[in-house]
């Protein structure tokens, strides 16, 4: 079974600074999808960014970017110019054949 | 507005009660999911419906009974629950078997079993 590991239960960052959240996963597949979701205290989980494993280019969405290392099975999320609204729990997810596996989440605190 | 609406937002029920959670999506998705989110535990997939047919049941106790009458609606019927069933229950939808289709989540129902 696939597993997703987020080794940082909690992270904090100063407003306007950059922070990187780590995620590793275990799979024997070559074609799959990876996602980062954000769950703020209001608890609605929303998509932050996604990456197709067959694409070598790292995905970016405004201030959010990923460092996808397929061989290392690593999928970290970089948040640049952190804002107070970025404070949330972040989940890394692996998806293959319609089935998603989530990591335990990283709680990000943004300090003003 | 996420397009996935869950009701109620909060629910307190006794162990002998029967209640239902409702989820509705108007995103044109063909797959719907129930997840359980407990404190200090990873997101647990409970049920998956694709084209109104249950395609996955992750060893969920029978006191949880899902129902998917059409592709836009999903219910979770609850009866004789235990205190350890207290959690946040999240509904999600997407296009099943479209790998790049992300999950769209509702706001969840915070369930407390007394």
From the number of C-beta atoms within 10 Å of its C-beta (0-12, 13-18, 19+), residue A39 rates as buried
State the Cα torsion B25-A64-A35-B73 to the nearest 10°.
-10
Contacts of A52 in chain B (CB under 8 A): 99-100
The pLDDT of residue B11: 96
The pLDDT score that the predictor gives to residue B16 is 87
Closest listed residue to residue A88, CA positions, set A10, A23, A16, A20: A10
Q: Who's near A17: CB < 8 A, 6+ residues apart?
A: A81, A82
Distance CA B53, CA A97 (A): 16
Give the integer Cα–Cα distance in Å for B9 and A105.
22
Residue B1 has pLDDT above 60, yes or no: no
Q: Give the pLDDT of residue A110.
A: 97
Instruction: Identify whether the C-beta of residue B113 lies closer than 8 Å to the C-beta of residue B86.
Output: yes
pLDDT at B108 over 80: yes
**Using the beta-carbon criterion (under 8 Å), do A44 and B97 form an inter-chain contact?**
no
Q: What percent of chain B has pLDDT over 70?
A: 97
Q: A4: closest CA among A39, A34, A46?
A: A34
Q: Is the pLDDT of residue B14 over 70?
A: yes
Residues 12 to 41 of A: which have CB under 8 A from any B CB?
Answer: 31-33, 35, 37
Q: Tell me the per-residue pLDDT of A51-85, one tens digit each, with 9 for 90 and over.
A: 999 998 999 999 999 999 999 999 999 999 999 99
Report the distance separating Cα A93 and Cα B91, nearest Å: 16
**Residue A110's Cα: distance from chain center in Å?**
16
- Average pLDDT for B92-111: 89
- Interchain contact, A45 vs B105, CB within 8 Å: yes
Categorise residue A53: left if φ over 0, alpha if ψ from -120 to 50, beta otherwise. alpha
pLDDT of residue A1: 59
∠ Cα A78 A40 A15 (to 5°)? 50
Mean pLDDT of B27-46: 90
| Nearest residue of A to residue B38, measured between CA atoms | A104
Question: What pLDDT does A35 receive?
Answer: 97
- Per-residue pLDDT at B53 exceeds 70: yes
- What is the arithmetic mean of pLDDT over A86-101? 92
Distance from the A3 Cα atom to the nearest Cα atom in chain B, whole angstroms: 11
pLDDT of residue A2: 77
């Amino acid at each position: 079974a696939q597993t997703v590991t987020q080794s940082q239960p909690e992270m904090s960052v100063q407003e306007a600074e950059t922070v990187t959240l780590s995620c590793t996963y275990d799979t024997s597949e070559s074609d799959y999808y990876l996602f980062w979701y954000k769950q703020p205290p209001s608890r609605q989980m929303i998509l932050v960014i996604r990456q197709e494993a067959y694409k070598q280019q790292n995905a970016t969405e405004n201030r959010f970017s990923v460092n996808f290392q397929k061989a290392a099975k690593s999928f970290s999320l970089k948040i640049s110019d952190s804002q107070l609204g970025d404070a949330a729990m972040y989940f890394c997810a692996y998806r293959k054949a319609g089935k998603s596996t989530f990591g335990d989440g990283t709680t990000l605190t943004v300090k003003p | 507005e996420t397009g996935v609406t869950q009701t109620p937002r909060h629910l307190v029920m006794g162990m002998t009660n029967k209640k239902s959670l409702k989820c509705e999506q108007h995103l044109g998705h063909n797959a719907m999911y129930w997840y359980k989110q407990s404190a200090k535990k990873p997101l647990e997939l409970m049920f998956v419906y694709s084209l109104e047919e249950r395609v996955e049941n992750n060893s969920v106790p029978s006191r949880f009974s899902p129902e998917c009458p059409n592709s836009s609606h999903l219910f979770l019927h609850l009866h004789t629950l235990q205190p350890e069933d207290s959690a946040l229950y999240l509904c999600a939808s997407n296009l099943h078997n479209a790998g790049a289709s992300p999950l769209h989540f509702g706001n969840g129902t915070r369930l407390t079993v007394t």
